[in-house]
Copies of this chain bind each other. A is one copy, B any other.
Amino acid sequence: MARKTTPEAPDRAPGGEGGLALGPEFRLTKQRREVFEVLTAQRDHPTATEVFVRVKEKVPGISLATVYNCLETLTHSGLVRQVNLDRSPSRYCPNLDEHAHFHCEACGHISDIAIADPLALDAALVLPAGSRVHRTDIAIRGHCPNCTPAAQAPQN
Residues of A at the B interface (CB closer than 8 Å) are: 82, 84, 86-87, 90, 100, 102, 105, 111, 113-118, 120-121, 123-145, 148, 150, 152-154, 156
Closest to A111 in B: B128
Per assembly, the copies of the chain total: 2
Chain B hits for A145, CB < 8 A: 128-131
Nearest 9 interchain pairs by C-beta: A130-B145, A121-B124, A114-B126, A133-B142, A120-B124, A134-B142, A130-B153, A135-B141, A117-B124
Flag if A124 contacts B128 (CB, 8 Å). Answer: no
- The CB with the most chain B CB atoms within 10 A, among A86, A111, A118, A140, is that of A140
Tell me the bound Cα distance from A116 to B124 in angstroms. 5
